[in-house]
């Protein structure tokens, strides 16, 4: 989203009482109320938003000037007082308290300053993980395998039992791609070792050691900002301008029409068209001498505009990978960790077999990727960097997993997601000339505005009322709440959203 630091603010506040809701919105949402789950409140979480100044306020602007003397800070929206942020609420440097439905770009799992995580930080037995950051690939802690079993393998995608940690989402995608390339060449060699020519030529970026291979991705995709991840990213020019990237195939991602139930045949035809394009591109690149070794796809194109496809499309993609003996990389960096009402979004697809690799980060606190056994490299140092992750983050994730399971937060996301989606659908019914295409999977929800200017005004207006949401694509706002988000928080959002949309009528 464009920088917001120079935009003026009013101090209008929306009422937080349920009686202030529009009658249509209120009645439908109440009928869709979610069953109760065991979500325990976070200590010190505010009862409601509170806006005291424009956002960014005087203190944020002062801090911005200071930061600008050190680095480019055009992306900064406001500065945060993380010590005073709690649960679902974020507090900025000017003491404004906002209900946060964007959560550090979808990366806060169980809220700010969760007491369980604060307790983990204070346990003497965990200090070594926080003080020391070992080079995990060569000098892992003695309890490393046990920690991986308690955390990442305890929530592994069905049918997957191997995992590699990494630091962030982009490097997770990068190294998952490397696993696809390694496995493809290993199959080609039929078990034989690399030749001397391959070993010498690869050092100088020359074939045959550096083969001309490719990974197919999708228009509108976002897989990260490092160079390999950029090769499969096609969402915004700002991500890719001036960087050399390989000429790899990019297929059309389905553009579904909403409401889905009214366009079943049209959407099936659109997905068939895109699957046919994938098949054609694989054949074209094979003839070019640049074979496709795998397909990289997001369950939902989040940065690209929250673009969805049906299980039929993803099942078709897996069929194509099997027909061509290539890999399927599912990028769950933003969609993983329970937000969609299942722990992994691809669980909604009923795939005939597990994916080949699944990348993760954000709410998982650590980066990394799961992989099937045939994608494990035979040599050390092939999937490697100094740290390959951080045991401190895995220690925190261990507690997050406990909270998710003990409070049934996957079910909470399914229930709250239904409530949020219904509220967005109600909004588009009430304001048809302003918003449209309400959609979501669990709590990972979005809605389109009729143009980008109105969308941007709505984001600013919501912030004035103490609601923090994110943008994506050209015209959408996206909701990315924590896993402990509840109906009462949704009602606060919808009160303010109704007020903002009413001002655009």
What pTM, to 2 d.p., does this model score?
Answer: 0.92
Phi, psi of 467, deg, nearest 5: -120, 125
User: Can 485 be counted among the known catalytic residues?
Assistant: no
One digit per residue, the tens of pLDDT, for the chain of length 505 reads 333 333 333 323 343 333 233 333 333 344 344 445 778 878 789 999 999 999 999 999 999 999 999 999 999 999 999 999 999 999 999 999 999 999 999 999 999 999 999 999 999 999 988 999 999 999 999 999 999 999 999 999 999 999 999 999 999 999 999 999 999 999 999 989 999 999 999 999 999 999 999 999 999 999 999 999 999 999 999 999 999 999 999 999 999 999 999 999 999 999 999 999 999 999 999 999 999 999 999 999 999 999 999 999 999 999 999 999 999 999 999 999 999 999 999 999 999 999 999 999 999 999 999 999 999 999 999 999 999 999 999 999 999 999 999 999 999 999 999 999 999 999 999 999 999 999 999 999 999 999 999 999 999 999 999 999 999 999 999 999 999 999 999 999 999 999 999 999 7
Residue of 78, 233, 356, 362 with catalytic role: 362
Domain shared by 336 and 419, yes or no: no
pLDDT at 44: 87
Domain shared by 346 and 237, yes or no: yes
Domain shared by 348 and 238, yes or no: yes
Domain shared by 349 and 243, yes or no: yes
Of 301, 329, 358, at which residue does a domain stop? Answer: 358
Beta strands 357-360 and 327-331: pairing type? parallel
Domain containing 265 equals 203-358
Residue of 78, 222, 493, 497 with catalytic role: 222
Domain shared by 328 and 423, yes or no: no
Domain presence at residue 46: yes
Domain shared by 339 and 416, yes or no: no
Domain presence at residue 183: no
Which CATH number do you get for residue 304?
3.40.640.10
Of 328, 358, 388, at which residue does a domain stop? Answer: 358
pLDDT at 14: 41
Domain shared by 232 and 333, yes or no: yes
Residue of 331, 356, 390, 456 with catalytic role: 331
Q: What whole-number distance in Å separates Cα of residue 89 and Cα of residue 93?
A: 13
Domains: count for the chain: 2
Q: Which residues pair with 165 in a beta bridge?
A: 368
pLDDT at 451: 96
User: Can 222 be counted among the known catalytic residues?
Assistant: yes
Domain presence at residue 141: no
Domain presence at residue 371: no
Beta carbons of 63 and 77 less than 8 angstroms apart: no
Domain shared by 352 and 211, yes or no: yes
Domain shared by 304 and 244, yes or no: yes
Which CATH number do you get for residue 74?
3.90.1150.10
Domain presence at residue 179: no
Q: Tell me, letter by letter, the H, E, C secondary structure of 389-436.
A: CCHHHHHHHHHHHHHHHHCCHHHHHHHHHHHHHHHHHHHHHHCCCCEE
Domain shared by 314 and 232, yes or no: yes
Domain shared by 79 and 215, yes or no: no
User: Can 92 be counted among the known catalytic residues?
Assistant: no
- Tell me the DSSP string of 75-89: T----B-GGG-BBTE
Of 358, 388, 416, at which residue does a domain stop? Answer: 358
Domain presence at residue 289: yes
Domain shared by 221 and 280, yes or no: yes
Residue of 123, 386, 405, 474 with catalytic role: 386
User: Can 386 be counted among the known catalytic residues?
Assistant: yes
Calculate the CA 419 to chain-centre distance: 21
């Amino acid at each position: 989203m464009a920088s917001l630091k120079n935009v003026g603010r009013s101090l209008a506040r929306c009422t937080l009482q349920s009686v202030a809701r529009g009658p249509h919105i209120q009645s439908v949402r109440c009928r869709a109320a979610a069953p109760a789950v065991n979500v325990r409140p976070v200590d010190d979480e505010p009862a409601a938003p509170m806006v005291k100044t424009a956002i960014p306020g005087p203190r944020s602007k002062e801090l911005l000037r200071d930061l600008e003397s050190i680095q480019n800070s055009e992306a900064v929206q406001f500065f945060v007082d993380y010590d005073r942020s709690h649960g679902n609420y974020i507090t900025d440097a000017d003491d404004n308290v906002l209900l946060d439905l964007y959560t550090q770009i979808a990366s806060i799992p169980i809220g700010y300053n969760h007491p369980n995580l604060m307790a983990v930080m204070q346990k003497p037995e965990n200090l070594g993980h926080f003080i020391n950051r070992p080079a995990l690939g060569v000098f892992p802690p003695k309890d490393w395998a046990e920690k991986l079993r308690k955390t990442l393998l305890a929530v592994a995608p069905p049918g997957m039992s191997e995992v590699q940690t990494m630091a962030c989402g982009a490097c997770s995608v990068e190294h998952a791609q490397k696993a696809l390339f390694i496995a493809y060449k290993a199959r080609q060699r039929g078990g034989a070792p690399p030749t001397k020519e391959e070993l010498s030529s690869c050092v100088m970026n020359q074939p045959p050691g550096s083969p001309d291979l490719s990974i197919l991705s999708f228009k509108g995709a976002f897989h990260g900002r490092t160079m390999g991840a950029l090769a499969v990213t096609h969402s915004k020019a700002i991500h890719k301008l001036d960087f050399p990237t390989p000429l790899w195939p990019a297929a059309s991602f389905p553009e579904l029409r909403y409401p889905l139930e009214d366009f079943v045949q049209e959407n099936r035809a659109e997905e068939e068209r895109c699957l046919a394009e994938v098949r054609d591109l694989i054949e074209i690149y094979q003839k070019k001498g640049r074979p496709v070794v795998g397909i990289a796809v997001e369950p939902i194109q989040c940065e690209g505009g929250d673009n969805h496809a049906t299980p039929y499309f993803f099942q078709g993609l897996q069929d194509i990978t099997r027909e061509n003996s290539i890999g399927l990389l599912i990028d769950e960096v933003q969609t993983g960790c329970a937000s969609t009402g299942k722990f992994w979004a691809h669980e909604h697809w009923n795939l005939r077999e597990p994916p080949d690799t699944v990348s993760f980060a954000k709410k998982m606190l650590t980066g990394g990727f799961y992989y099937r056994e045939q994608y494990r490299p035979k040599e050390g140092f092939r999937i490697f960097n100094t740290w390959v992750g951080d045991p401190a983050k895995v220690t925190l994730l261990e507690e997050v997993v406990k909270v998710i399971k003990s409070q049934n937060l996957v079910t909470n996301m399914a229930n709250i997601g239904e409530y949020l989606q219904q509220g967005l659908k109600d909004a588009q019914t009430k304001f048809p000339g302003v918003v449209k295409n309400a959609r979501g999977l669990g709590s990972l929800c979005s809605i389109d505005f009729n143009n980008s200017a109105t969308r941007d005004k709505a984001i600013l207006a919501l912030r004035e009322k103490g609601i923090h949401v994110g943008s994506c694509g050209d015209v959408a706002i996206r909701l990315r709440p924590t896993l402990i988000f509840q109906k009462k928080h949704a009602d606060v959002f919808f009160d303010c959203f109704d007020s903002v949309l009413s001002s655009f009528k």
